[in-house]
A and B are shown apart, each in its own frame.
Chain A
Amino acid sequence: MTNTPIRGGIRRDTWNVLVRELRPVVRDPFTLIFSLVQPLVFLGLFAPLLIGQSGMPVDQTLRWFVPGVIVMIVLFGTGAVGSNLQYEMMTGSHERTLVAPLARSSLLIGRALKEVAPIMAQALLIVLIALPFGFRFHPGGLAIGLVMLAVFSIGLGSLSYALALGTRDREWLFCGVQQTLIFPLLILSGMLLPLDEGPGWMRAVSTVNPVNWVVQAERALIQGEFWDPVVLWGWVAAGLLAVLGLAVGIRGMRRSN
């Protein structure tokens, strides 16, 4: 019997799951653009309002707003990926992978890692689209910002998968929970409008919203402010979310049958 060492096994299994998950994206890259519609609407219809309201120069407003839109892609896109797993659970596709000799954890980690690829492509696309309108950024900052975004998307993706695993047999609950959470997280992150003017309780709640810290860190990074304390908090928020998401997700996958 083949006795591959367990760690090598998980790494190989994760790679195989990742490759499988990426196949439809590679086959049909246009799906990436379709899932960008929502952030593009915000960029096209909300940014002009913001520019008008803020009274600040366009480039400055965009430097404030674009990092938020990039985080929004993760929130809307990656936050919903659990529904793909839900489909696979409703058909026999998920069950088949459970009978295959794959480590349970690899089924979650491979899927979570896959989220990074479309997020990177979409974020760069948003940056490209914003460029002609006067968006300027620090290249090194953007690169590091994308790494943070990757970590954040692994965490949020894992949580989305965990939610799908946890709401098995009650598919409606997945959408319910996801839709209920997404807007409070969005508004309380100061992504669309600054929270500085908001009431104290809102600002208090936003301090425990990891999305808020990631948005602030991305804003700082895009301007090249690497040593701003919010960058550290962004790493803490994204890192904790990734650890928590993977832990909860792997637990859910192990219990899946």
Chain B
Amino acid sequence: MTNEPIIDARSLSKRFSVNKQPVEAVTDLSFTVQPGELVAFLGPNGAGKSTSLRMLTTLIPPTSGSARVAGHDIRREPAAVRRNIGYVGQLNSGSFAQRVRDELISQGAFYGLGKSQARRRADELIESLDLAPFAKRSVQQLSGGQKLRLDVALGLMHAPPLLFLDEPSTGLDPQSRANLWQHIIDVRAQHGTTVFLTTHYLEEADRYAERVMVIDRGRMIADNTAERLKAELAGDALRLTFTSQGDAEAAASMVQRLAGRPVQTHQDHSLRLTAPDGARLLPTAVRELDAAGIRVDCATGVPPTLDDVFLSLTGRTLREADAPEESEAKIPMEGPVK
């Protein structure tokens, strides 16, 4: 599988019919993922993240388009795709009545592991995901964070080269979330697992993903590292404050020339602008203004977030985008289950 992408999606589209009205859940999705990458699919609720994931994991067939996942066609060879991927869905995947260790061993058997192999692997994962104290408890008795760790363990039971996670940390407290991420990062470091996840937490995508695909209204609108997305699409928010309004106004044209960006003058003797590479621009501006005899009283530069990226791409913030689409997320009955 040298050089073959582990995911190769070509024009994937999914249309649902809701009350006889067609709904385009995912439109013309094309991308490739190389083995070993850690990719986040970022977008508001209802953007089509889960539907995309459900197509790639063979849970639902695409309306049109095709994809090869782990070397196999999702439509023609779903069984081969399933053998080679791990999947952690949005909802807890341990059956309530089952004990933790039993459920892991069953999962191993499903993937063709021999009895002793399954037991050994289950114990390994119980150890590494801190499930040892609950191994003999039924799933029902676990807390949210414990259930989620079991979900991840179940997804990793057959040591898949590719792991899909659908909004893995939704509803977790910050500590459990950090804990979960540590586990994902460890597994990746040990086995070189490719990780593909969806999230609507921008901090999460920003912090952990090496590559972020932004999806909105069923279409991919950006695909790059978080750093590049922020540098190219958002830029730092800069603010320069002066001792008098006169200074501020005198500085405005100079700064505008330096930045090549529009500058706003505010009544509190300050200038504001957004500029890519603003962190570098700021000291230059201060020096030049100083040389021109204009004293800068205070200077701040705030680096952009992925929310700024989303805003510049769509004209909405992620949080704004969440609300109206909420109901739509539930529309496809055969699609993502909320």
Contacts and interface: CB of A to CB of B under 8 A. Distances in A.
Q: Does B associate with A?
A: yes
Contacts of A2: 83, 112
A92 interface: yes
A95 B95 contact: no
Contacts of A24: 97-99, 102, 138
Interface in A1-57: 1-2, 13, 16, 19-20, 23-24, 27
Interface in B87-139: 87, 89-99, 102-103, 106-107, 109-112, 138
A64 B333 CA distance: 49
Interface string B55-82: 0011110000000000000000001101
Given A96-B154, A101-B79, A101-B110, A27 B99 contact: yes
A88 interface: yes
A92 B97 contact: no
B79 A88 contact: no
Contacts of A84: 97
Interface bin, chain A: 20 to 34
A108 to B, nearest CB: 15
A91 B96 contact: yes
Given A20-B98, A95-B93, A96-B154, A169 B87 contact: no
Nearest to A23: B102
Given A1-B80, A2-B83, A101-B82, A257 B94 contact: no
Contacts of A92: 89-93, 151, 337
A23 B99 contact: yes
A23 B107 contact: no
Nearest to B85: A99
A118 to B, nearest CB: 13
B110 A257 contact: no
A148 B104 CA distance: 34
B91 to A, nearest CB: 3
Interface residues of B, number: 36
B95 A88 contact: yes
Given A23-B99, A99-B57, A99-B58, A93 B106 contact: no
A15 to B, nearest CB: 8
A2 B80 CA distance: 9
A183 interface: no
Interface string B325-336: 000000001100
A168 B143 CA distance: 26
Contact of B106 (A23, A90, A99): A23
A97 interface: yes
Nearest to A26: B102
Given A91-B93, A95-B91, A20 B106 contact: yes
A85 B110 CA distance: 18
A169 B335 CA distance: 12
Interface in A96-110: 96-102
B79 A93 contact: no
A102 B111 CA distance: 8
A23 B87 contact: no
A99 B162 CA distance: 13
A1 B90 CA distance: 29
Contacts of B110: 13, 16, 97, 100-102
Nearest to B87: A99
A16 B106 CA distance: 7
Interface in A59-98: 84, 87-88, 90-93, 95-98
B97 to A, nearest CB: 4
A109 B85 CA distance: 25
B83 A101 contact: yes
A12 to B, nearest CB: 8
Nearest to B108: A16
Given A95-B337, A101-B111, A169-B333, A87 B96 contact: yes
Contact of B95 (A93, A101, A169): A93
Contacts of A16: 106, 109-110
Nearest to B92: A91
B159 to A, nearest CB: 14
Contacts of A20: 98, 102-103, 106, 109
Nearest to B58: A99
Contacts of A23: 98-99, 102, 106
A19 B240 CA distance: 69
Contacts of B138: 24
B205 to A, nearest CB: 22
Contacts of B107: 96, 100
A41 B88 CA distance: 44
Interface of B: 54, 57-60, 79-80, 82-83, 85, 87, 89-99, 102-103, 106-107, 109-112, 138, 151, 154, 333-334, 337
Interface of A: 1-2, 13, 16, 19-20, 23-24, 27, 84, 87-88, 90-93, 95-102, 169, 257
23 contacts: A19-B109, A20-B102, A23-B98, A24-B99, A24-B102, A84-B97, A90-B91, A91-B91, A91-B92, A91-B93, A91-B95, A91-B96, A92-B89, A92-B337, A93-B93, A95-B93, A96-B89, A99-B59, A100-B82, A100-B107, A169-B333, A257-B59, A257-B334
Given A1-B83, A27-B99, 11 more contacts: A16-B109, A23-B99, A23-B102, A27-B102, A87-B95, A92-B91, A95-B59, A95-B89, A99-B89, A101-B82, A101-B111
